[in-house]
């Protein structure tokens, strides 16, 4: 009897698997069966942002009847870009894809995309509504190549409740290094060494931003905006000043070092939320997360800059949307329609509210969604202000250089060594040399002059 039971069970299992295969096919076949033009969209948004993105796609699909955008999650930015390059020209490749700003130069050089400017011109679309600093990263010779999508800037977060408790004046709108040092020290001393004043994560992006915000250049040829860079400079006055600031805080004892491991970012966030550290620099995209779990009042202000200087403004982080040129015209057009949809004022407003990425459309701030949000979280305005107040120039419009993933590793290597007491200029020079070695080799391998 039990023998038969086992046989029947396994039979059911096998039949089930076959059915699943058949039905699975049907399900995927259905999407293209309703006479819409399919537009495959590869993205790298995980977690809560993915939910918001899927709703966005769904809303787009409902808003019209011509195109069907099919979103597909591709994992991390760095693995996704490799997949995009490897599948280009095959029928698995996407029609529109999200690519990290770090890979901008690579995508530009690949020649795998159709510049969005072509569609904008044909459509007479008004790009001026979109944040100029964000656009500048993805423009070449005044022509828009990709559309910035999820965009963030680094900001300084502080624990407003703690500062209030110890009677410390919160930082000004665009604080200087010495201002932050003073507050960090005060917080550390007044809390009887229970709260560390500040931390800066070992993260190459933050070093790049510090250079940009103080008017420096990361590479020659204007950060790659006027030709492919051949030289990188991290041993420059802007970087040295940045590290001197951090070292002063380390010396004061008010600096918390969370290391460079995979948990550094998580530990940093939990340290901030549990009153172990009072201030830290991080992407503005963290804000929605910080608002959700925070028992304290969240303070936000601009990325700090060196004393006696005016802040040059920081460039954007995040990713942009690109249109592949290996798909037929009507599919590419569909991709453009989708991209156009994503930067609508109310879509961007909802995007900022749910994810923390900044709304790129100037009209977004007037929407009901953001008006209500700002009423509840006035500090939520700060990153958008920082973005809007930045006048784009070559220094704050992002770095157009390939191999940024490996280069950032070396930047982080330098940061970590300096945090642990390494000589600032010597360490920067060593890692600058190593970075230039990479740049030299990749230019040689790619035949760039």
Partner 1 sequence: MLKTSTTNVVPEKKVEAKNKTKFRLTANDKYYASIFAGPSLFLLGLFTFYPMFRTLYISMFLTNTFGNTTLFVGLENYVKLVTSPDFVSSMWVTLVYVVGVTFFTIAMGLLLANLASQKLPGIAIFRTLYSVTMGVSVSVAAIFWLFIFNPSAGFFTLLTKLLHLPTVNWLSNPTMAMWAIIITTVWMHLGFVFLVFLGAIESVPTTLYEAADVEGVSKHYQFFHITLPMISPTLFFISTITIIGSFKSFGLIDLITKGGPTNATNMLVYRIYNDAFFGGNYAKSSAEAIILTIIIAFFTYLQFKFLEKKVNY
Return residues touching partner 1 (CB under 8 A).
78-79, 82, 85-86, 106, 109-110, 257-264, 267, 270-271, 274, 276, 402-403, 405-406, 409, 412-413, 416-417, 420, 434, 437-438, 441-442, 444-447
Q: How far is the CB of 78 from partner 1 (least distance, A)?
A: 5
Q: How far is the CB of 446 from partner 1 (least distance, A)?
A: 4
**Residue among 154, 162, 188, 163 at smallest CA distance from 295:** 162
Question: What secondary structure letter does DSSP report for 315?
Answer: P
C-alpha to C-alpha distance for 414 and 354, rounded to whole angstroms: 35
C-alpha to C-alpha distance for 183 and 197, rounded to whole angstroms: 7
C-alpha to C-alpha distance for 44 and 437, rounded to whole angstroms: 30
Q: How big is the CA angle at 159 (ends 290 and 361), to the nearest 5 degrees?
A: 50
Q: Which is nearer to partner 1, 238 or 412 (CB)?
A: 412
Q: Are 324 and 93 in contact (CB under 8 A)?
A: yes
Q: How far is the CB of 418 from partner 1 (least distance, A)?
A: 10
Q: How far is the CB of 263 from partner 1 (least distance, A)?
A: 6
Q: How far is the CB of 437 from partner 1 (least distance, A)?
A: 8
Q: Which is nearer to partner 1, 10 or 79 (CB)?
A: 79
Q: How big is the CA angle at 317 (ends 197 and 247), to the nearest 5 degrees?
A: 30
Q: Which is nearer to partner 1, 58 or 274 (CB)?
A: 274
Q: Are 52 and 354 in contact (CB under 8 A)?
A: yes
Q: Which is nearer to partner 1, 3 or 444 (CB)?
A: 444
Q: Which is nearer to partner 1, 56 or 256 (CB)?
A: 256
Q: Which is nearer to partner 1, 78 or 121 (CB)?
A: 78
Q: How far is the CB of 403 from partner 1 (least distance, A)?
A: 6
**Long-range contact list for 84-91, CB < 8 A, 24+ apart?**
84/42, 84/112, 85/110, 85/112, 88/112, 88/324, 88/326, 89/326
Q: How far is the CB of 138 from partner 1 (least distance, A)?
A: 18
| Residues whose CB is less than 8 angstroms from the CB of residue 297 and which lie 6 or more positions away in sequence, other chains included | 159, 160, 161, 164
Q: Which is nearer to partner 1, 199 or 283 (CB)?
A: 199
- 91 three-class SS: coil
The pair phi, psi for residue 232, each rounded to 5°, is -115, 145
Q: Which is nearer to partner 1, 3 or 293 (CB)?
A: 293
Q: How far is the CB of 151 from partner 1 (least distance, A)?
A: 23
| Sequence-ordered alpha helix ranges (H) in 231-311 | 237-252, 264-273, 287-293
Q: Which is nearer to partner 1, 198 or 311 (CB)?
A: 198
Q: How far is the CB of 190 from partner 1 (least distance, A)?
A: 21
Q: Which is nearer to partner 1, 52 or 199 (CB)?
A: 199
Q: Which is nearer to partner 1, 344 or 417 (CB)?
A: 417
Q: How far is CA 283 from the centre of its chain?
A: 7
C-alpha to C-alpha distance for 388 and 437, rounded to whole angstroms: 37
Q: How far is the CB of 208 from partner 1 (least distance, A)?
A: 17
C-alpha to C-alpha distance for 281 and 276, rounded to whole angstroms: 15
C-alpha to C-alpha distance for 391 and 216, rounded to whole angstroms: 15
Q: How far is the CB of 259 from partner 1 (least distance, A)?
A: 3
Question: What secondary structure letter does DSSP report for 258?
Answer: -
**Residue among 281, 277, 258, 270 at smallest CA distance from 157:** 281
């Amino acid at each position: 009897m039990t023998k038969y039971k086992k046989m029947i069970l396994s039979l059911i299992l096998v039949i089930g698997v076959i059915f699943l295969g058949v039905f699975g096919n049907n399900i995927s076949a259905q999407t293209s069966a309703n006479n819409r033009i399919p537009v495959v969209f590869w993205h790298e948004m995980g977690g809560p942002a993915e939910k918001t993105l899927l709703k966005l796609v769904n809303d787009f699909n409902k808003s019209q009847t011509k195109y069907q955008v099919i979103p597909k999650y591709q994992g991390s930015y760095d693995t996704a870009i490799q997949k995009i390059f490897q599948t280009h020209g095959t029928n698995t490749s996407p029609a529109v894809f999200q690519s990290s700003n770090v890979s901008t130069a690579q995508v530009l050089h690949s020649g795998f995309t159709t510049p969005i400017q072509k569609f904008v011109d044909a459509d007479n679309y008004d790009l001026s509504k979109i944040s100029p600093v964000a656009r500048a990263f993805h423009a070449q010779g005044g022509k828009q190549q990709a559309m910035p999508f999820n965009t963030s800037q680094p900001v300084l977060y502080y624990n407003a409740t703690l500062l209030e408790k110890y009677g410390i004046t919160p930082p000004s709108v665009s604080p200087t290094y010495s201002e932050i040092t003073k507050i960090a020290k005060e917080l550390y001393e007044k809390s009887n060494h229970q709260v560390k004043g500040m931390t800066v994560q070992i993260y190459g992006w933050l070093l790049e931003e510090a250079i940009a915000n103080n008017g420096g250049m990361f590479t020659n040829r204007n950060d790659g905006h006027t030709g492919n860079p051949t030289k990188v400079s991290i041993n420059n006055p802007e970087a040295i000043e940045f590290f001197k600031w951090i070292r002063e805080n380390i010396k004061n004892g008010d600096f918390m070092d969370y290391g460079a491991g995979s948990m550094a970012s998580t530990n940093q966030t939990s340290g901030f939320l549990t009153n172990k550290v009072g201030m830290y620099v991080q992407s503005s995209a963290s804000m929605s997360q910080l608002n959700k779990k925070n028992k304290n009042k969240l303070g936000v202000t601009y990325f700090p800059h060196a004393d006696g200087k005016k802040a040059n403004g920081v460039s954007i982080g995040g990713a942009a949307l690109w249109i592949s040129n290996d798909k037929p015209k009507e599919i590419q057009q569909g991709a453009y329609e989708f991209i156009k949809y994503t930067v609508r004022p109310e879509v961007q407003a909802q995007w900022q509210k749910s994810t923390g990425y900044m709304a790129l459309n100037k009209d977004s701030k007037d929407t009901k969604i953001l008006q209500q949000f700002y009423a509840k979280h006035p500090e939520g305005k700060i990153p958008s202000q920082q973005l809007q107040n930045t006048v784009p120039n070559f220094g704050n419009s992002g770095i157009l250089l390939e191999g940024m993933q490996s280069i950032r590793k070396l930047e982080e290597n330098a940061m970590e060594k300096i945090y642990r007491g390494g000589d600032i200029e010597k360490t920067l020079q060593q890692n600058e040399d190593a970075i230039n070695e990479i740049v030299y080799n990749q230019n040689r391998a790619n035949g760039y002059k």
